[in-house]
Amino acid sequence: MPLLSLSFLPEQAAVASKPVDSLFIYLIFISSFFGLLIAAMIIFFSIRYKRKSESDRPKEIHGNNKLEMLWTIIPLIISLTIFGWGLVLYFNNYRPPAHALEVFVVGKQWMWKLQHPSGPREIDELHVPINYPVRLTLTSEDVIHSFYVPAFRIKMDAVPGRYTHTWFQATKVGKYHLFCAEYCGTEHSKMIGWVHVMSQEDYQKWISERTGQTPMLEPGASALSEGEKIFQKYRCFACHHAAAGALGPDLSGIYGKQVKLLDGTTVTADENYLRESIKTPQIKIVEGYAPLMPTFENILSEEQIFAIIEYLKKWNSGTLPQDAEGTQSA
Ligand code: CUA
């Protein structure tokens, strides 16, 4: 498709690249068509209807319904095609497949810190397998940054105090530029890096060289060891268990559930809620419990909190039944 590989566009290296480019080219085509049409008509009319003498008076007109309908309906239809097309792309690009590889991204003046589900961490470099969806969860330790990989056509803000998400599926082995696309201070322009797309075998080798384990690139299988280790280390299960007299709410199946709070309101236990409840547990107290939990604000890093949340998710999905002693039974 020669039209879609125009040289001014970055390389197409992800599933989303071509569809995004097609819409972009469609927008350019429509804008240039009408831009040129309007410019040509301005020139033509100013010559054609130039006032010839002082007494020259144009004929009075009182509107033209046909013409007005035409210039309302045609642009409406064109705008709706842009809307519909954009909507489809938006949904595709913001809803990752359920089995995606989870990578955690922290923006920090002035670097990108990346963590793989199985443990390895990287700075300003990200290694990913080809033809496999990768879901990024982003946050920031200071100001707003923006994770931008032109070849994948993704750009997502990393915002302090909350999680944002994006995903991609690389289609070509290679090395692609990673930028920060939000001015974030004096060294913003140096906040750059690389995304390395590797074959799935190479990726597995790369991970196993660092962890001693071979990651499973299969639906639902990602290493949980990080989050589980932290959960055990801080003895979270000592309070959070299902038995009578527990000091904290039972966390099995917590992810995605509706949680009733002391003040009568209800919240969904999503990633942002879980993160807040680990960092500052006093803000939202679950109904029936006392505000006993200490804050982990300065104890756990963003990476560790993310690992715990990933752990709770898997626990929830039933793939990891576990009793209050923290021993895995599956
Ligand atoms: Cu980080 Cu610009």
Ordered DSSP codes for 203-267: HHHHHHHHHSSPPP-BTTB---HHHHHHHHHTTGGGTB-SSTT-SB---TT-TT-EEEBTTS-EE
pLDDT, tens only, 226-237: 777 788 778 787
CA distance 309 to 275: 7
φ and ψ of 157, to 5 deg: -70, 140
Q: How far is the CA of 108 from the centre of ligand 1 (A)?
A: 8
**Once rounded to an integer, what is the mean pLDDT over residues 149-174?**
93
Q: Per mean pLDDT, which of 38-52, 94-108, 300-314 is the most reliable? A: 38-52
Report the alpha-carbon distance of residue 15 to residue 131 in Å, rounded. 9
* Distance (Å) from CA 170 to ligand 1 centroid: 23
Minimum-distance ligand 1 atom for the alpha carbon of 184: 2
- Global model pTM greater than 0.85: no
Give residue ranges with CB within 6 A of ligand 1. Answer: 107, 110, 145, 180, 182-184, 188, 191
At residue 305, does pLDDT exceed 60? Answer: yes
Instruction: Decide which of 247 and 220 is more confident.
Output: 247
Residue nearest atom 1 of ligand 1, based on CA coordinates: 145
Please, is 200 exposed, middle or buried when counting C-beta atoms within 10 Å of its C-beta (0-12, 13-18, 19+)? middle
CA–CA gap between residue 250 and residue 241 (Å, rounded): 5
Q: For residue 159, how far is its CA from the centre of ligand 1 (angstroms)?
A: 11
The whole-number pLDDT of residue 218 equals 55
Question: Which atom, in ligand 1's list, is nearest to the CA of 109?
Answer: 1
Alpha carbon of 288 to ligand 1 centroid (Å): 43
* pLDDT beyond 80 at 223: no
**Position 98 pLDDT exceeds 90:** no
CA of 306 to the centre of ligand 1 (A): 21
pLDDT on residue 326: 38
| d(CA 257, ligand 1 centre) in Å | 35
Calpha distance 203→19 (Å, rounded): 27
Q: Is pLDDT at 171 greater than 80 in this prediction?
A: yes
Separation CA 312–CA 273 (nearest Å): 13
The pLDDT value recorded for residue 129 is: 92
Least Cα distance to 222 among 300, 279, 306, 166 occurs for 306
Which atom of ligand 1 is found nearest the CA of 188? 2
Strand, helix or coil at 197? Answer: strand
- The whole-chain average pLDDT of the chain stands at 85
pLDDT digits (tens, 9 = 90+) for 247-281: 888 887 788 888 889 888 999 998 889 888 888 88
| pLDDT tens, residue by residue, 11-49 | 899 988 999 999 999 999 999 999 999 999 999 999 998
Res. 179: pLDDT tops 50: yes
Crossing angle for the helix pair 271-279 and 302-316, to the nearest 10 degrees: 130
Confidence of residue 217 (pLDDT cuts 50, 70, 90): low
Structure letter (DSSP) for residue 192: -
Q: Residue 288: which pLDDT band, with cuts at 50, 70 and 90?
A: confident
Split at pLDDT 50, 70, 90, the class of 321 is: very low
How many angstroms separate the CA atoms of 102 and 81, rounded? 34
Q: Is the pLDDT of residue 151 over 70?
A: yes
pLDDT of residue 60: 85
| Residue 319 pLDDT exceeds 80 | no
Q: Read out DSSP for 283-326?
A: SSPBTT--S-PPP-TTTS-HHHHHHHHHHHHHHHTTSS-B-TT-
Confidence category of residue 190, pLDDT binned at 50, 70, 90: very high
Backbone angles phi, psi at 131, to 5 degrees: 50, 35
At 316, the pLDDT band (50, 70, 90 cuts) reads low
